[in-house]
Chains A and B, each alone.
Chain A
Amino acid sequence: MSSTSLVYIALFVVVVIGAILVGAEGRNFFSTGNLRDVFTGMSVLGLVGIGQTLVILSRSLDLSVPYVMSLSSLIAAQTMSSGGASIAVGVVLALLFSAAVGLVNGLVVTKLRVHGFIATLGVGLIIKGYLDTTYKGSAGSVPKEFQFIGSAAIGAVPVSTIGMLALAAAVYFLLTKTRTGHHIYAVGGSAEVSRLSGLRTSSPVIISHVLCSLSAGLAGILLASRLGVGSPTVGTQGGYDLLSIAAVVVGGTLLSGGHGSIWGTIGGVAIFAVLDSVMSAIQFNPFLKDVVRGLVIVVAVAIYSRRSSETKRVRFPEKGK
């Protein structure tokens, strides 16, 4: 059984348990409002998780996402504050800066040969310093029409979540149907093999870093539209760096790179969203929420690694097996 299908079985279990718990509170888990709460919870983490999946597949990781999110939310909100046409400009600018950060991450990892952990931690700190110095709080303002993107929903599904899923589909396409995607898997699997097969091993890593920062940038823009302003702390508030990595591994992607899927990550994100929504609905002690999250992460990955223990072809099955 593929690890992705395992993820969705896990998700199913979480939903069932959640629905029961919520039901016990005299609520309906599947009511529009509750589902919207779940889907809303998926949108931002989903965007970040998609990017994080790409870097992890290419055998790196990105701890700078929270700061990229904050930065992009500020750039977007400040540029848009004049309203009208400046909206497009704001989005483009925010994404440009995000991409630039991703480029730096990618270059530091590939050219300076700094482990992704240190490289992105360092770049994150650099951005943090800039944010803390330059911004003394939320800044800029997002015009009403753009705030709509953050609040609007079709039935129970927020537009933002639909957008997130669209991006996931696009990335799925990228990974399975384009050379770049194939090469991200290849480099993540083994850089040396890829090199001898004629790949320029640094480009997939750089690309995945750029795309990761871009999706973090998108998440930042989405947050700006939800908050109506840009915020220098909005990224760190959610702890999106470690949470996104957690979502990716809960989604069945290997931290060692080269193996995993985007839909798995979406499943992982959904698991976290459902958990959070349920714990809020049953007014679970806020301090214990992290305990639950922590346990879920470890248990989930433990289950996957049990199943995915590579099986050779069995010639003489045990009697009774």
Chain B
Amino acid sequence: MMREIRNSAGKSVARSVAVIVDPRQAVFLVLILLLATIFFLNPGFAEPSQFIRFVQRVAPIAILTMGQFFVLVSGEFDLSVGALIAVQVVVAGNLIGQDESKSIPVLILMFFIGLVVGLVNGLVSSLLRVPSFVVTLGMMLVLLGGVYFVTGGSASGNPADGFRSIGRGGIEGFPIFGLMPWAVIVLIVCTLLASYVSTRPFGKTLIAIGDNPETQFYSGARVWWTKTQAFMISSTSATVAGILLVGYAGVHPSVGRGYEFIAITAAVLGGVVLGGGRGWVLGALAGAFTLEALFTVLNFADVPSTWRDSVQGIIIIAAVAYSAVSRNGIRRKGTNSASPEIGEGASASGRSAQNTSPSHD
């Protein structure tokens, strides 16, 4: 039924309402309420020109979250994206510098770097059978250490404004919004791409792999390659996020720090189940917006900055607990959800892992 809603979501108003009231899609409800709170605390924020700025700001983390989505539904983790963003930001800063003409070649290089990182993550975890949590943790350390080593802890300077305008500038005199940021357009493109890919055989196979990799192996799917592609999507999304961030904020090795956790949290808020097999890319997108909206509410409400982490922690747990418990209510039988598993679907022994479905005969 969830999937039924998924397939048709957005196609008709009635259905989208159905999505919002569906307990497992609580994220949309939460998002709407948070936005309402923002508008209430600061009516000016509701003006299109202001609101589009908010969207622009969320774009990088939203894109990152959608990338993370593909890794998570396949039952894996990608902890390396934050560090990869830092790398990309610094690469842009140091290689483009003030010479705009270098933008295109460096862009190509950045995407290449991203793909290589994803490829390594994917191959090491799928072929060498190292849990992705470990691989990407190692990759995170390598990338961070590397970027600090190369840059001596600080970039030489910001890249040319022309390059930065991708994340900073936009189309002037755009109807309604005044300025339509490029970042928003990039976000829209990425969203369309992501939701398309996730409904393609690739996307469906990926989710099924997250559910039961052994079955996919016996069904003739290239499990290792499909998963590797997921990691490459994730690291590409990190690259795009990096490009937007270097534009939006400029160069600093600390850009992207902790984004891996934000992205995973956002995806989970959006109904993606860690361990794989369940999730909806638009849910993940909504999760990212929810999280950022939450931060904004906290800013507007003058909650002391030191308390923000606490509120964030509570919201995350509450939201995830709610959807977990409600899903569980629907599945009636609390199978292994009492002991959640890390994304280790691949290594879980087929039989004991599959003991967990209710058989009604």
Contacts and interface: CB of A to CB of B under 8 A. Distances in A.
A and B touch in the complex (CB under 8 A): yes
Interface in A117-141: 117-119, 121-126, 128-130, 132-133
Given A129-B311, A190-B336, A255 B342 contact: yes
A205 B335 CA distance: 15
B134 A297 contact: yes
B340 A113 contact: yes
B141 A188 contact: no
A164 interface: no
Interface string B265-280: 1001000011100000
Given A115-B320, A249-B131, A256-B348, A297 B356 contact: no
B135 interface: yes
A58 B336 CA distance: 12
Contact of A113 (B140, B306, B334, B356): B334
Nearest to B261: A121
Residue picked from B146, B313, B339, most chain A C-beta under 10 Å: B339
A285 B325 CA distance: 49
Interface stretch (B122-130, B183-191, B221-229, B234-242): B122-130
A213 interface: no
Q: Is the interface of B mostly helix, strand, loop or mixed?
A: helix
Contacts of B316: 118, 121-122, 125
Contacts of A116: 340, 342
B145 interface: yes
Contact of A294 (B145, B265, B321, B342): B145
A126 B315 CA distance: 10
A116 B133 CA distance: 14
Interface string B151-178: 0010000000000000000000000000
A227 to B, nearest CB: 22
B141 A61 contact: no
Contacts of B133: 245, 255
Contacts of B131: 249, 254-256, 301
A13 B137 CA distance: 23
A114 B317 contact: yes
Q: Is the interface of A mostly helix, strand, loop or mixed?
A: helix
A126 B310 contact: yes
Interface residues of A, number: 62
Given A255-B344, A256-B341, A294-B138, A192 B356 contact: yes
A152 interface: no
A256 B145 contact: no
A301 B134 contact: yes
Contact of B141 (A60, A125, A290): A290
A179 interface: no
Residue picked from A109, A115, A254, A288, most chain B C-beta under 10 Å: A115
A242 interface: yes
4 closest pairs, A vs B, by CB? A129-B310, A294-B141, A125-B313, A256-B344
Interface of B: 124, 128-131, 133-135, 137-142, 144-146, 148-149, 153, 261, 264-265, 268, 273-275, 304, 306-314, 316-317, 320-321, 324-325, 328, 334-342, 344, 347-348, 352-353, 355-356
